[in-house]
Amino acid sequence: MLPILQKAQTVDNMDMTSCHVRPFLEDVHVQCRTQYDPHCETSIDEAMVAYTGRLSIKQYLPLKPTKRWIKIWAQADPHNGFLNDFQVYTGRANNKVETGLGERSDKRYIWGKNHHVYCDNYFSSVPLFEELLENKTYACVTVRTNRKYLPAGVTQAKLKCQGEMVVLQKEGSMMAVAWHDK
């Protein structure tokens, strides 16, 4: 029992149940990184794996048909769907409210390689885009209009006709587009 307890103490923010899963996840993670050389384009999104067993890292989402999930941030190749990288969300650290969870994905595999990242509004923030651009990584994302640091011309645009749009560009590096879709 003592070796198990020592191992459990070295695993950050995971209890004894999930520390048994960690070696398997690390093996899968290494295989994802070494078995495939990804294209220049990459897609980042959260994935939810349905799970009903006993595990402290599962999330409870009462509005979903399957209520208990394990949340995973995944980086995949949009050309064929191959999983390049992933990170399992293990819950709060030290019972503190967390911010910027979408920015938590491991950026070291895409930095400085002129990759093009595609993701949804969960991962979007202007400071993250600036950081990615400084590291020669480009992003194309959807953004919620209530996000901080977005230009007022985009967030307050009153678009009424389908195809109508507003385009603003910041210092030649970042572009924000608002359009009326349907």
Q: In this predicted model, what pLDDT tens digit does every residue of 149-181 receive, in sequence order? A: 888 888 888 888 888 888 888 776 788 888 778
Segments of the chain assigned E as strands: 41-50, 58-60, 68-76, 83-88, 116-119, 138-141, 165-170, 174-179
Whether the per-residue pLDDT at 10 is higher than 50: the answer is no
Mean pLDDT, residues 88-104 taken together: 63
Band of residue 5 on the pLDDT scale cut at 50, 70, 90: very low
In contact, 52 and 83? CB cutoff 8 Å: no
In contact, 59 and 71? CB cutoff 8 Å: yes
At 86 the pLDDT is 82
- The residues near 148 (Cβ < 8 Å, ≥ 6 apart) are 125, 126
For 115, phi then psi, to 5°, come to: -75, 155
Which tokens is 64 given?
């979903």
In contact, 39 and 77? CB cutoff 8 Å: yes
At 66 the pLDDT is 78
> What's the sign of the alpha-carbon dihedral 108, 90, 44, 32?
positive
Which tokens is 87 given?
């990170």
Whether the per-residue pLDDT at 42 is higher than 80: the answer is yes
Whether the per-residue pLDDT at 105 is higher than 50: the answer is yes
Question: What are the pLDDT digits (tens) for 21-39?
Answer: 778 888 888 888 888 887 8
pTM (two decimals)? 0.71
